[in-house]
Amino acid sequence: MVETASLDPREGEEWFLRLPAQAKEEMRVAWEADAGRDRDLARRFRRTMARSALELSAFFLFAELILVASPSAGSVLAALSVGGLTGLGCAFLRPGQFQMIFAVLPGHLLLRLLFGWGGILNESCVLVLLMPLAALLGLSQEMRRADGHG
């Protein structure tokens, strides 16, 4: 009797070779289900990382365009980069609604130190406009996780 080949390295081990054919097939089915679940989880995590990076890049780009009267190409590129990196970090740390406010602050402060503050009126916009938007972004991510989508 010819057995089907599998990519699982455990099939060559002595304990597996001693199993009856039915038990071997059950093990293969279980291993394939585990591998499928692992692939699905990895795909979901990659999608979550990409979504988080895009969302926070858009957030920082919006902040840069609102806070700076005439942003330079460098500040826009830096905002996109800082947003992407913050988004990747948030995909790992999974901040919630209120933690997201504190997650975006270091990136915002870095951009302001590198490219200027833009005046007291602009910084009050951060408190009034951007921090609630960050909280909404965190809430959105919380809701996706609660629904099993991230």
CA–CA separation, 51 and 29 (whole Å): 33
Is the confidence at residue 83, as pLDDT, over 80?
yes
Q: What is the DSSP string of 4-38?
A: PP-S-GGGGSHHHHTS-HHHHHHHHHHHHHHHHHH
How many domains is the chain partitioned into structurally?
A: 1
Q: State how far the Cα of 103 lies from the Cα of 138, in Å rounded to an integer.
A: 10
CA-to-CA distance for 63 and 78, rounded, in angstroms?
Answer: 12
Top pLDDT among 125 and 74 is at 74
In the predicted structure, residue 135 carries a pLDDT above the cut 80: yes
Cα 146 from chain centroid (whole Å): 15
**Which pLDDT score, from 0 to 100, does residue 120 have?**
60
User: Do the domain assignments include residue 29?
Assistant: no
What per-residue confidence (pLDDT) applies to 2? Answer: 44
Q: How far apart are CA 118 and CA 104, in angstroms?
A: 18
Residue 20 within a domain:
no
Q: Could you list the residue range(s) of the whole structural domain that residue 84 is in?
A: 49-146
- Residue 113 placed within a domain: yes
Q: Examine residue 40 and state whether it is found in any structural domain, yes or no.
A: no
Using the predicted structure, report yes or no on whether residue 84 has a pLDDT greater than 90. yes
Structure tokens that stand for 115 in this block: 């490219």
6 in any annotated domain: no
pLDDT value for 12 = 79
